[in-house]
Structure 1
Amino acid sequence: MTIEEKQLEFVIYCVESTAERLGRYGSDVYNKLKELGAINGYIRSYYDTLHTQGKSYIVDSILEYIYHRDPQWLPEGYKPFRTIEEKGKTLC
């Protein structure tokens, strides 16, 4: 498998994992990430680091990326930084 194929597989994993967290369709998440430049500018650019992290960290980092570029797209009340007290609550 080439690095491009591995990155593509990872992009799909990121999109679907984020869609699952948000309760949205994968195509909606993909389109938003593409619109914001996250596919190449974040996920592929930081593939070497991101693919070594757990699912929760990856999704949190993608949601933070979206939050700083188009916060209205995320669920109402979503905050990118959670305090220790908030970690047990479902924020999105």
Structure 2
Amino acid sequence: MIHACANKWSKTPSEVYFLMTQSDCINSFLVPNFDVLHTQSTSYIVEDITEYLRVRGINV
């Protein structure tokens, strides 16, 4: 998902990883919801991550 977000947001994977760790997206959103997210398309999950970050004040 880091690479998918990096491609969508025109950022490097390391920049995306920093944003995700800064907002605790990986541990609080992706890992706990893995089973549900695993059934969704990549573009849907990227949009969910974008919204998760936006709610936390991080614009990508």
CA-atom RMSD, angstroms?
0.9
Q: Any stretches of 5+ residues in structure 1 without a counterpart?
A: 1-13, 75-92
Moved over 6 A (4+): none
Measure how far apart 1:68 and its partner are: 0.5
Counterpart for residue 56 of structure 1: 43
TM-score of the pair, normalised by structure 1: 0.62
Q: Any stretches of 5+ residues in structure 2 without a counterpart?
A: none
TM-score of the pair, normalised by structure 2: 0.93
2:18 to 22, 25, 31: 31
Cα deviation 1:30-63 (Å, max 9, x = unaligned) = 0110010101100001000001100110000000
Q: Identity over the aligned pairs, expressed in percent?
A: 32
Counterpart for residue 15 of structure 1: 2
